[in-house]
Amino acid sequence: MLWQLFQRRYSKELYQAFPKDCRNEVTRVLFHIRRRHTDPMEAYYCRQTLSWRLLSGECVTLPYRLKLKEMDLDGFSDTEKLIAHCLFSRSPDGYTRERHLRAMLTYDLPDWAAVYVMTLAGEYVKEILQVIDSALRERDWHLWRALARENFFVIKRLHEKMISYWNEFYRFDCYRYRDYVGKALFRDIFGYRKTGQKTIDE
């Protein structure tokens, strides 16, 4: 009963995390997904969000964190599996985020899934940034650069967070910021080269 109440309360927010043409697939994933444990219901969905504009002009709003129980994805379509990986990439557990990030990066990602990867680039786990940087260097960067141009102020905000995490957690091991993986990722893949930049390079 508690989980059904959660689904009714937060389904609107979770539908808004994906484009409208994925609604049927999102519905099926949400039907099967379950809460992670018995915390108070309000703990499952963090009200902090990040909105992205897709290349079609449609906007999606990603939750900052979701406490959901991982599940067997056998029997789901590729799109449904990708949706589930996107949701699990918002887990409060860094190992869970990295595991589902790696799964996402096995797909030819549409823009609505790519923004989940880009959101992870602004977080504090250096190993996740390394996974993203390594994977995206083997891909055509035009999708990532186009999304960065379309969402300049989002990228600027993520860039600022990435720098603050480097300064707080990794400066001892990587004293020079120019050697940090996060700088290389934002510079080479997303086209955001320095603080104060006004546009994204072509």
Q: Could you read off the pLDDT of 108-162 as tens digits, one per residue?
A: 999 999 999 999 999 889 999 999 999 999 898 899 999 999 999 999 999 999 9
| Residue 127 in domain | no
- Our count of domains for the chain comes to 2
Q: Are residues 108 and 151 in the same domain?
A: no
pLDDT of residue 38: 52
Q: What is the pLDDT along the chain (202 residues), one digit of tens a residue?
A: 344 545 556 677 889 999 999 999 999 998 888 765 555 544 455 668 999 999 999 999 999 988 888 889 999 999 999 999 999 999 989 999 999 999 999 999 999 999 999 999 998 899 999 999 999 998 988 999 999 999 999 999 999 999 999 988 888 888 888 889 999 999 999 999 887 778 887 6
Cα three-residue angle 107-124-155, rounded to 5 degrees:
65
End position of a domain, from candidates 60, 87, 120: 120
d(CA 197, CA 171): 23
Q: Are residues 109 and 59 in the same domain?
A: yes
Count CB neighbours of 166 within 10 A: 20
DSSP letter string, 117-158: HHHHTTSS-HHHHHHHHHHHTTS-THHHHHHHHHTHHHHHHH
Q: Which residue from 194, 182, 65 is spatially nearest to 126, judged by alpha carbons?
A: 182
Domain of residue 44, residue span? 2-120
